[in-house]
C-alpha cells in the first residue's frame, strides 16, 4: 500500500493507513492528540510499523528527557518487526534510535538520507525540520524543504504545510520578503497552518513590525488559537512580545495568564516560553507578582537538568529570578557533568550552554561584568544549542543589561548601536539605546 502522497508503507490494512493519515494531519496542524489517534490503529494492528514510527516521532518533538523511555520502547517494537517493515520504515526506526541514544545530529543525518530517496515523506520532513530547529541549523531549516519541494505539486495532500516549513527556514536565513510570500501562500492553502502563521510572526518580529504583528495575530485567532491547538501558546508568546516591545506590559501579562501559562504544566516547550517572556520583563524591572515562583518550582521537580542545553538556560533564568541558589548550583553541576557525556547535548553544553548558565548565575549574584565577559564570546554562536533568532535574542538583551548594570557604558553603547542598526523601527531597541547613551 501507499499513503496519500504515494509513499510506500508495509501495512495491508486500509483502516490503519486511514488512521495514520488522520494522526499525521493532527501533527501537521498541531490540532488534537496525534498519539491518541494513532494508538487506536496500534491497538487493532500492533504490527503497523508506520504507526509506531509516528507515535515515537510525535514524542520526539517534545525534546525532553521524560519521553526517552517511550521513544525507546517504540524503537524496540520496530526492531522486533524487523523485515516486516519496509526499508523506509527501518530508516525511520534507525533515526529514532539515534535520537533516543542522544545522537540527535545523527538522527538528522539519517532523515536527510531517507528524504533523498523519499522526498514526499511528509512525516520525515516535519520531524527533520523540527530537529533542525532544535539544533539552530538555519541553513538546513531552509535546505531540507528546498531539496524536497521539486518532488511535490500544489495538488498533493500536505503541500501547504511544506510551504509553511519552507517559510520559516527562509526567515531564519534572513530572506524576509521570500519568507513572507511563502508563508502567506501557505495559509491560503491551509488556513489552519499555525506553523506558517508562526513563520510570518517571526518575519514581523525580525523586521520590528510590532503593531502590524499584533493585528495579524489577533485577526486570525480562529485559525491558530483553537482550544485543541498544541502550538497556540507559542504563537501567543509572539503576540505578547510585540506588546511588550511597544511598552504594553499589562497586555503581555494578560496574554501570559490567559494563553501562555494558564495553569501549571511540566512540558518543557511551554515552560521555556513562559520564562522567555518573564525574563524580558525581569531585565526591564517589571513586576510580575508570584508568576516566577510557580515556574521555578516546576523546573526543580522536572528532572530535566542537563538533558538539553537550551532548556537548561531557561531553567537557570527561573532560578536566578527567584533567588534559588541551591537549584542553580545543582543545574550547573548537571551541565558540567553533561559536557563529558556522549551525544549531541554534550557539544551544545560545552560550546554555549555552560558559559550561558555561568553568565546567568553571575547575573543573579550581581556580578554583571562577569556576565558580560562570559556572554560576549558566544553571543553569535548561541545558535549551536537551538532555538530561533527571536528566542536567542534573550542572550543579547541580557548582555546589554549586564553592560548597563556593570557601568560599562562603552560596551552598552556599542551593542545598542548595533541593535538599532539591525532593527531601526523597534521601540524597545531605542529605549535601550537611550539608556546606554544617558
Instruction: Give the CATH number of the domain where residue 119 resides.
Output: 1.25.40.10
5: which 3 cell numbers?
502522497
103 inside domain = yes
Residue 401: predicted pLDDT: 96
Residues linked to residue 229 through DSSP beta bridges, in sequence order:
31
- 17: number of Cβ within 10 Å: 21
Positive or negative CA dihedral for 95, 229, 169, 383? Answer: negative
pLDDT tens-digit readout, 345-365? 999 999 999 999 999 999 999
Average pLDDT, the chain: 96
Lowest mean pLDDT among 171-180, 206-215, 384-393, 417-426: 417-426
In a domain, 435, yes or no: no
* pLDDT above 90 (res 82): no
Residue at 343 is within a domain = no
Q: What does the alpha-carbon distance between residue 438 and residue 432 come to, in Å, rounded to a whole number?
A: 10
Query: What would the mean pLDDT of 60-75 be, rounded to a whole number?
Result: 98
Of 25, 220, 52, 8, nearest in space to 126 by CA: 25
List the domain range (segments joined by +) for residue 89: 1-130
Structural domains counted in the chain: 1
The pTM assigned to this predicted structure is: 0.96
Please check whether residue 113 lies inside any domain of the structure. Answer: yes
Task: Kindly state the average pLDDT of the residues 326-340.
Answer: 97
Flag whether pLDDT at 85 surpasses 90. no
- Residue 160 maps to a domain: no
In a domain, 337, yes or no: no
pLDDT of residue 248: 96
Domain contains 72: yes
- HEC string of the chain equals CECCCCCECCCCCHHHHHHHHHHHHHHHHCECCHHHHHHHHHHHCCCCHHHHHHHHHHHHCCCCHHHHHHHHHHHHHHHHHHHHCCHHHHHHHHHHHHHHCCCHHHHHHHHHHHHHHCCCCHHHHHHHHHHHHHCCCHHHHHHHHHHHHHHCCCCCCCHHHHHHHHHHHHHHCCCHHHHHHHHHHHHHHCCCCHHHHHHHHHHHHHCCCHHHHHHHHHHCHHHHCCCCECCHHHHHHHHHHHHHHCCCHHHHHHHHHHHHCCCCCCCHHHHHHHHHHHHHHHHHCCCCCCHHHHHHHHHHHHCCCCCCHHHHHHHHHHHHHHCCHHHHHHHHHHHHHHHCCCCHHHHHHHHHHHHHHHHHHHHHCCCHHHHHHHHHHHCCCHHHHCCCHHHHHHHHHHHHHHHHHHCCHHHHHHHHHHHHHHCCCCHHHHHHHHHHCC
86: in domain: yes
Q: Sorting pLDDT into bands at 50, 70 and 90, what band is 343? A: very high
pLDDT digits (tens, 9 = 90+) for 151-180: 999 999 999 999 999 999 999 999 999 999
Confidence of residue 29 (pLDDT cuts 50, 70, 90): very high
* Span 278-328, pLDDT tens digits: 999 999 999 999 999 999 999 999 999 999 999 999 999 999 999 999 999
**With 90 as the cut, is the pLDDT of residue 438 above it?**
no
**Whether the predicted pLDDT of 146 surpasses 90:** yes
Region 187-206: mean pLDDT is: 97
Q: List, for residues 86-144, the tens digit of each pLDDT value.
A: 999 999 999 999 999 999 999 999 999 999 999 999 999 999 999 999 999 999 999 99
Q: Considering the chain, what percentage of its residues have pLDDT values greater than 70? A: 100
pLDDT tens digits for range 362-395:
999 999 999 999 999 999 999 999 999 999 999 9
Residue 330: exposed, middle, or buried by beta-carbon count in 10 A (0-12, 13-18, 19+)?
Answer: middle
Amino acid at each position: 500500500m501507499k499513503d496519500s502522497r504515494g509513499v510506500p508503507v508495509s501495512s495491508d490494512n486500509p483502516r490503519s493507513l486511514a488512521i495514520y493519515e488522520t494522526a499525521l494531519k493532527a501533527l501537521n496542524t498541531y490540532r488534537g492528540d496525534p498519539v491518541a489517534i494513532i494508538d487506536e490503529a496500534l491497538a487493532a494492528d500492533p504490527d503497523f510499523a508506520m504507526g509506531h514510527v509516528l507515535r515515537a516521532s510525535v514524542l520526539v518533538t517534545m525534546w525532553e528527557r521524560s519521553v526517552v523511555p517511550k521513544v525507546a520502547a517504540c524503537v524496540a517494537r520496530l526492531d522486533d518487526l524487523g523485515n516486516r517493515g519496509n526499508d523506509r520504515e527501518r530508516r525511520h526506526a534507525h533515526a529514532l534510535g539515534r535520537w533516543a541514544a542522544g545522537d540527535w545530529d545523527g538522527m538528522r543525518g539519517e532523515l536527510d538520507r531517507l528524504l533523498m530517496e523519499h522526498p514526499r515523506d511528509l512525516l520525515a520532513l516535519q520531524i527533520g525540520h523540527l530537529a533542525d530547529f532544535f539544533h539552530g541549523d538555519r541553513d538546513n531549516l531552509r535546505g531540507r524543504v528546498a531539496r524536497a519541494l521539486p518532488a511535490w505539486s500544489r495538488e498533493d495532500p500536505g503541500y501547504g504545510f511544506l510551504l509553511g516549513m519552507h517559510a520559516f527556514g527562509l526567515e531564519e536565513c534572513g530572506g524576509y520578503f521570500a519568507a513572507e510570500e511563502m508563508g502567506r501562500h501557505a495559509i491560503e492553502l491551509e488556513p489552519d497552518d499555525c506553523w506558517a502563521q508562526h513563520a510570518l510572526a517571526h518575519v514581523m518580529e525580525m523586521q520590528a513590525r510590532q503593531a502590524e504583528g499584533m493585528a495579524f495575530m489577533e485577526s486570525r485567532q480562529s485559525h491558530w488559537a483553537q482550544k485543541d491547538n498544541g502550538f497556540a501558546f507559542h504563537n501567543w508568546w509572539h503576540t505578547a512580545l510585540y506588546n511588550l516591545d511597544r511598552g504594553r506590559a499589562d497586555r503581555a501579562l494578560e496574554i501570559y495568564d490567559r494563553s501562555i501559562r494558564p495553569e501549571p504544566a511540566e512540558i518543557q516547550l511551554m515552560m521555556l516560553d513562559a520564562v522567555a517572556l518573564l525574563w524580558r520583563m525581569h531585565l526591564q524591572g517589571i513586576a510580575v507578582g508570584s508568576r516566577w515562583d510557580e515556574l521555578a518550582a516546576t523546573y526543580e521537580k522536572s528532572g530535566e537538568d542537563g538533558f538539553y542545553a537550551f532548556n537548561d538556560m531557561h531553567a537557570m533564568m527561573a532560578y536566578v529570578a527567584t533567588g534559588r541558589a541551591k537549584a542553580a548550583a545543582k543545574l550547573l553541576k548537571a551541565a558540567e557533568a553533561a559536557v563529558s557525556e556522549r551525544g549531541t547535548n554534550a557539544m551544545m553544553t560545552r560550546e554555549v550552554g555552560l558559559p550561558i548558565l555561568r553568565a546567568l548565575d553571575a547575573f543573579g549574584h550581581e556580578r554583571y561584568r562577569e556576565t558580560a565577559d562570559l556572554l560576549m564570546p558566544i553571543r553569535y554562536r548561541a545558535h549551536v544549542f537551538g532555538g530561533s533568532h527571536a528566542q536567542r535574542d534573550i542572550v543579547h538583551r541580557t548582555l546589554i543589561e549586564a553592560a548597563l548594570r556593570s557601568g560599562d557604558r562603552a560596551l552598552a553603547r556599542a551593542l545598542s548601536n548595533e541593535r538599532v542598526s539591525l532593527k531601526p523601527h523597534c521601540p524597545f531597541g531605542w529605549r535601550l539605546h537611550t539608556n546606554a547613551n544617558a
